[in-house]
Amino acid sequence: MKPSAGASAGMKLASAAVQPLTGIGLLVASVWALSGLDASGKYVMGTGVPLLVLCLVRYLVHLVLVLALVVPAKGWRMLRCQRPWAQTARGASMLLATMSFFTTLHYLPQAQATAINFLAPLLVLAVAPWVLKEPMRVSRWVAAGVGFLGVLVVVRPGSGLDHVGTMFGLLTACILSVQYITTRRVAVDDPYTSLIWSGAVGSVVMLLALPFIWGDVIHTFVQLSGWQWLILLGTGFWGALGHLLQIQAYRCAPASLLAPFVYLQIISAATLGWLIWGQFPDGLSWLGIGIVCMSGITIAMVEWRRRNL
């Protein structure tokens, strides 16, 4: 999955940017890690692991790893935040997006599911005048409209994509846009604080749900092979690694420079989808994916030029 605390903190960390090539390299590594998360989740769900059990393990492993890495280096002060309710809302939206996207991946190839997700930042730009009190820009609406047309090409009739998966994909994009907006609200906190809170909120919610899914948890844990256990635990590892790499990327390079490289995730998603499941987008799907990506890249460049005039 995608989009993280690191990406949202890009503007806050841009002032410390001094190594743009390192930042680009770290961001590219992060999108591969996040595609690894998506592929791992898709794989274990295909073996019969229930969605809620997957989310339980994904968030608990994420939280343990992040705490083990961040707290010894920066102390327990990283747990303190200035806007706990905003952090809770962000963590809840992230959990919902995770559930929705894993459901999408259950029905759709990874590349097409990832392409639909790219609609989320365009939706944020489209509603920014009302939600974020930012200036009204026709260019943002055009970008969102073009991006949506690209998604329609990807999910067109005759594409062979499952309608349920398509609906969950669009739902995921909407939830992710809410996550991005709430992330703006917590930009006053250190990115590592937001990273910890995102794992903590998801973990607490899933632990509260544990009595209701206990039977599924026991059944799943008993049935899994060693290889399947490794992939399941890998969902938390790849998620934590991807977010940590993004944070470091935005410490090295400004968000305006890195924004276009986020779309390289379609390459990692398509590659893993092809290698693991033999699923590769056809020509028209690539056309739609290209439209979505170019729409996002173009508006990122327009916004960068506007800020630097």
How far is 61 from 239, CA to CA, in rounded Å?
Answer: 9
In contact, 129 and 292? CB cutoff 8 Å: no
45-52 — which CB contacts under 8 Å span 24+ positions?
A: 45/102, 45/105, 45/106, 46/106, 47/224, 47/228, 48/220, 48/223, 49/220, 49/224, 49/228, 49/232, 50/213, 50/216, 50/220, 51/99, 51/102, 51/103, 51/106, 52/99, 52/206, 52/209, 52/213, 52/216
pLDDT value of position 19 = 80
How far is 277 from 282, CA to CA, in rounded Å?
Answer: 15
How far is 120 from 247, CA to CA, in rounded Å?
Answer: 20
pLDDT above 90 for 1: no
Place of tokens 């259950």: 106
Question: If pLDDT is split at 50, 70 and 90, which confidence band does 305 have?
Answer: confident
Mean pLDDT over residues 184-203, rounded? 92
Higher per-residue confidence, 136 vs 175: 175
In this structure, of 18-32, 133-147, 155-169, 172-186, the range with the lowest mean pLDDT score is 133-147
Would you list the DSSP string of 55-122? HHHHHHHHHHHHHHHHHHHH-GGGG--S-HHHHHHHHHHHHHHHHHHHHHHHHS-HHHHHHHHTHHHH
| Helix axes of 51-74 and 20-46: crossing angle, nearest 10 degrees | 150
Which pTM does this prediction carry? Answer: 0.88
Q: Would you state the torsion angle of the CA atoms of residues 258, 67, 1, 206, taken in this order, to the nearest 10 degrees?
A: -150
pLDDT above 60 for 10: no
For the chain, the domains span 5-308
Angle at 131 between CA 128 and CA 137, to 5 degrees: 25
Place of tokens 């605390």: 5
pLDDT value of position 18 = 65
Question: If pLDDT is split at 50, 70 and 90, which confidence band does 12 have?
Answer: very low
pLDDT value of position 6 = 44
pLDDT above 90 for 309: no
- Residues of the chain with pLDDT > 90, as a percent, come to 66
Write out pLDDT tens, residues 255-287. Answer: 777 888 889 999 999 999 999 999 999 999 999
Write out pLDDT tens, residues 72-110. Answer: 999 999 999 999 999 999 999 999 999 999 999 999 999
Higher per-residue confidence, 5 vs 182: 182
Mean pLDDT over residues 39-43, rounded? 97
253: which DSSP letter?
A: S
